[in-house]
């Protein structure tokens, strides 16, 4: 029976070496995506830069690939910043986001001298201005705005709509107030604006409409304060196909459309074209990744057959959170004919939740206990969102390139779950073992 190969490596052998569940990432695909960013965006538009949004997937090895591919890195927490800096990633190419940054995070960003801090609101601006002055550390900042446009995606992953918790609304008082304060802050240099409309988006309309609205705001800021937006960060959110119902979208579908609108509207408004940047996470890493599971059980019920696997919402919460859809194959017999059974087949995770269904309706050969099930397109927002729910251990992450596989994150062990777990003295076991009943 034919086996599935990923990045040139035999998935059955990967499972024999590294166990299941297993995240497998193909380095060649990640690098090809980075090259596409250079070719279709950076080379096409002279004043431009691009970052990888590390929340999609970050380990030290990933940071090394991103650095090697000459992209910047977007981080949102002390943990992401620490991972990046520990890998040796140049601080000047890091930008920090977040709608509720702590003083510790802002402080670490200033101390490391990262390239940009994207300020999300007035209160953060005050804290940062004070902190930068106290430390005597200069910082270049962008103000995040919410363009008030809702893209066509799951409601939980829209970010730039009206009433969003992210950024400053374009209309009203908050943005002008923030610009005024930022211009007054001695240790801060306001370079421009940032917006991000949402994630897993397949059409460019929301991005383009946001550009149009943001350019109008840039015009008002110039008229009211003489403030010239020298930089504009267009965010990310470009979709990655994880199911036949979704299209494969080239990056240029978004970037060309946004840039054309930007060039046109800046010219019409008498504004100089700002330096533009993008920050894309899923689009770079999602399709490079698969997750390999072992089939533990097949349960045949009247309306449905459940394929129970040894992972689930703990290693991939996306179906439960966003009704995300995935495709799968049996990696140990990829050429077996598909089941002819009319009954629905669902891939069930092993967590104690009815909602832990990885795929509601899958087409596969009739599965057997011991089969290896591969879920495709799991490179983004799986490992980075994984939990230890039900005290499940986090899977290992393996990076493959040209058939060679290396562990970049070790599999957790039950002992790892006890790291930091403490029993208060008053609960310590005393003397003889506790015995059950009479």
Return the closest-CA partner of residue 295 out of 369, 345, 346: 369
Q: In Å, what is the CA distance from 438 to each residue of 91, 158, 431, 432, 435?
A: 65, 58, 19, 16, 8
- Active-site residue, 266 included: no
Cis peptide upstream of residue 159 (ω within 30 degrees of 0): no
Considering only 49, 139, 159, 242, the residue that binds ligand LLP (CB under 6 A) is: 159
Among the listed residues 37, 56, 197, 347, the single contact to ligand LLP using CB under 6 A = 56
| Binding track over 279-308 against ligand LLP, x by CB under 6 A | xxxxx-------------------------
90 touches 114 (CB < 8 A)? no
Q: Are strands 188-194 and 94-96 parallel, antiparallel or unpaired?
A: unpaired
Least Å distance between CB 301 and ligand LLP?
30
Among 236, 274, 289, 308, indicate the residue that binds ligand LLP (CB under 6 A): 236
- The site for ligand LLP, by CB under 6 A, has a size of 23
Q: Which long-range contacts (CB under 8 A, 24 or more apart) does 173-177 make?
A: 174/121, 174/122, 175/143, 175/145, 175/217, 175/221, 176/221, 176/224, 176/225, 177/122
Verify binding: residue 97, ligand LLP, rule CB under 6 A. yes
Contacting range for ligand LLP; rule: CB under 6 A; set: 40-48, 276-284, 291-299, 305-313:
276-284
Catalytic one among 228, 266, 352, 393?
352
Query: 382: Cβ–Cβ under 8 A, 6 or more apart, which residues?
Result: 23, 57, 289, 291, 315, 316, 318
Mode of pairing for the β-strands spanning 72-75 and 94-96:
parallel
Question: Could you say whether residue 237 binds ligand LLP (CB under 6 A)?
Answer: yes
Distance, CA of 284 to CA of 353 (rounded, Å): 31
Give the residue with the Cβ less far from ligand LLP, 281 or 367. Answer: 281
Binding residue (CB under 6 A) for ligand LLP from 115, 147, 204, 235: 235
Q: E strand or H helix at 280, and its extent?
A: strand 275-280
Q: Looking at 63-71, 221-229, 234-242, 261-269, which segment touches ligand LLP (CB under 6 A)? A: 234-242
Give the nearest distance from C-beta 51 to ligand LLP in angstroms.
Answer: 8
Q: Is 157 among the residues that bind ligand LLP (CB under 6 A)?
A: yes
Binding flag, residue 231, ligand LLP (CB under 6 A):
no
**53 in contact with ligand LLP (CB under 6 A):** yes
Provide the annotated active-site residues.
352
Q: Where do contacts with ligand LLP occur on this chain (CB under 6 A)?
A: 53, 55-56, 74, 97, 157, 159, 196, 199-200, 235-238, 279-283, 318, 322, 381, 385
């Amino acid at each position: 029976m034919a086996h599935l190969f990923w990045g040139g490596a035999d998935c059955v052998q990967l499972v024999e070496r590294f166990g299941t569940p297993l995240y497998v990432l193909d380095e060649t695909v990640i690098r090809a995506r980075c090259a596409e960013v250079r070719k279709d965006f950076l080379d096409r538009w002279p004043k431009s830069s691009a970052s990888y949004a590390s929340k999609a997937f970050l380990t030290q090895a990933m940071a090394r690939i991103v650095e090697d591919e000459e992209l910047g890195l977007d981080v949102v927490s002390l943990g992401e910043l620490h991972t990046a800096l520990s890998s040796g990633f140049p601080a000047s190419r890091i930008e920090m986001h977040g709608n509720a940054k702590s003083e510790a995070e802002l402080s670490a960003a200033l101390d490391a001298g990262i390239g940009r801090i994207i300020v999300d609101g007035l209160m953060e601006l005050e804290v940062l201005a004070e902190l930068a002055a106290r430390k005597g550390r200069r910082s270049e900042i962008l103000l995040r705005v919410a363009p008030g446009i809702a893209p066509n995606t799951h409601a939980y992953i829209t970010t730039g709509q009206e009433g969003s918790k992210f950024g400053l609304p374009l209309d009203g008082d908050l943005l002008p107030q923030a610009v005024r304060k930022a211009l007054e802050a001695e240790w801060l240099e306001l370079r421009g604006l940032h917006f991000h409309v949402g994630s897993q988006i397949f059409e460019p309309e929301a991005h383009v409409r946001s550009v149009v609205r943001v350019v109008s705001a840039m015009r008002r800021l110039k008229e009211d304060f003489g403030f010239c937006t020298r930089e504009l960060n267009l965010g990310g959110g470009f979709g990655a196909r994880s199911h036949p119902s979704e299209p494969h979208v080239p990056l240029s579908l978004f970037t060309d459309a946004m840039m054309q609108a930007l060039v046109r509207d800046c010219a019409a408004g008498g504004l100089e074209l700002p330096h533009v940047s993008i920050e894309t996470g899923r689009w770079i890493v999602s399709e490079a990744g698969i997750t390999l599971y072992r089939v533990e059980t097949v349960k045949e019920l009247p309306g449905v057959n459940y394929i129970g696997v040894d992972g689930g919402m703990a290693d991939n919460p996306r179906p439960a959170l966003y009704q995300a859809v995935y495709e799968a194959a049996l990696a140990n017999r990829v050429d077996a004919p598909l089941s002819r059974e009319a009954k629905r087949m669902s891939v069930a995770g092993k967590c104690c939740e009815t909602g832990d269904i990885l795929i509601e309706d899958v087409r596969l050969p009739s599965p057997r206990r011991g089969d290896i099930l591969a879920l495709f397109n799991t490179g983004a927002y799986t490992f980075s969102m994984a939990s230890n729910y039900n005290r499940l251990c986090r899977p290992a992450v393996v990076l493959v390139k040209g058939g060679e596989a290396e562990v970049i994150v070790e599999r957790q062990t039950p002992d790892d779950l006890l790291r930091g777990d403490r029993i208060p003295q008053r609960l310590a076991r005393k003397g003889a073992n506790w015995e059950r009943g009479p």
